[in-house]
Amino acid sequence: MALHPLWIPQSAPPRAFPDVDFALEEPNGLLALGGDLAPERLLYAYAHGIFPWYSEGQPILWWSPDPRMALEPGELKISRSLRKTIRRGEYRVTLSHCFQRVVRGCAAPRANQSDTWILPEMMHAYGRLHELGHAHSIECWHGEKLAGGLYGVAIGRVFFGESMFSVRRDASKVALAHLCSLGYALIDCQLPSEHLERLGARPMPRDGFCQRLHRHCQESAPALAPASRGASH
């Protein structure tokens, strides 16, 4: 009998997700539809290996792919050119100084695409997580201009990366290198890409990934973790 993803009513409690073992093989990782992007639901989802990803006109789609792309901070691959960029101090790095600007930068259509999956309701939802201290950004500045950055959700010693962007060479890579220096045990990259593989991320079996979440999400957050203290304009 064919399996179908579970429909989650908006009124369902935050924990109303099926076990990730019920995620579809095709499309890889589709687990559930519906629900909402309330902070409690998002935090529960991330801590259990689930994340939202959908396009305009679709219901909220919840995913838990197998394998899962993840980066061990100590395995970050820094190219010779990136190392030179870091040594030159070409960029100034800040933490959660302008969260919404970073999200908007990530949402801007790229050269090879005409739309974005970071919809207004997604921006609002992660903005709310930022206000509550759970979502953070890392910004790279070239002079007074925002050159790139990344944002994501932090639970314990796991950083769940959502997106990154650059308008200048290596800016998002510098942000990632800084993230890897903050003391997180694992960085979730969600889906495979050649770009992430070149930076050291690798596919991890979902069972092993979820075991890591169970351990590291219970640990104390790094002392230098980004804090929501700057402006979020």
CATH assignment of the domain containing 58:
3.30.70.3550
**Residue 222 included in any domain:** no
User: What are the φ and ψ backbone dihedral angles of 145, each rounded to 5 degrees?
Assistant: -105, 140
- pLDDT confidence of residue 116: 73
Residue 145 CB contacts under 8 Å (≥ 6 apart), including other chains: none
Q: Based on the domain organization, do 211 and 137 belong to the same domain?
A: yes
Mean pLDDT of all residues in the chain?
A: 92
Q: Based on the domain organization, do 101 and 186 belong to the same domain?
A: yes
Scored b (16 or more CB within 10 A) or e, 64-100 reads bbbbbbbbbbeebebeeebeebbeeebbebbbbbbbb
Q: Based on the domain organization, do 87 and 54 belong to the same domain?
A: no
Share of the chain above pLDDT 70, in %: 92
**Residue 232 included in any domain:** no
Any idea which residue has 């509550």 for tokens? 132
DSSP states of 123-186 as a string? HHHHHHHHHTTSEEEEEEEETTEEEEEEEEEEETTEEEEEEEEESSTTHHHHHHHHHHTS--SE
Q: Is residue 229 very low, low, confident or very high in pLDDT (cuts 50, 70, 90)?
A: very low
Q: Based on the domain organization, do 90 and 200 belong to the same domain?
A: yes
pLDDT digits (tens, 9 = 90+) for 50-70: 999 999 999 999 999 999 999
> Of 47, 65, 83, which marks where a domain is finished?
65
Q: Based on the domain organization, do 146 and 38 belong to the same domain?
A: no
pLDDT digits (tens, 9 = 90+) for 97-153: 999 999 999 999 765 655 678 999 999 999 999 999 999 999 999 999 999 999 999
**Residue 27 included in any domain:** yes
This prediction's pTM: 0.93
Domains of the chain: total? 2
Helix (H) / strand (E) element for 61: namely strand 61-63
Full domain range(s) for residue 172: 69-216
CA distance 224 to 168: 26
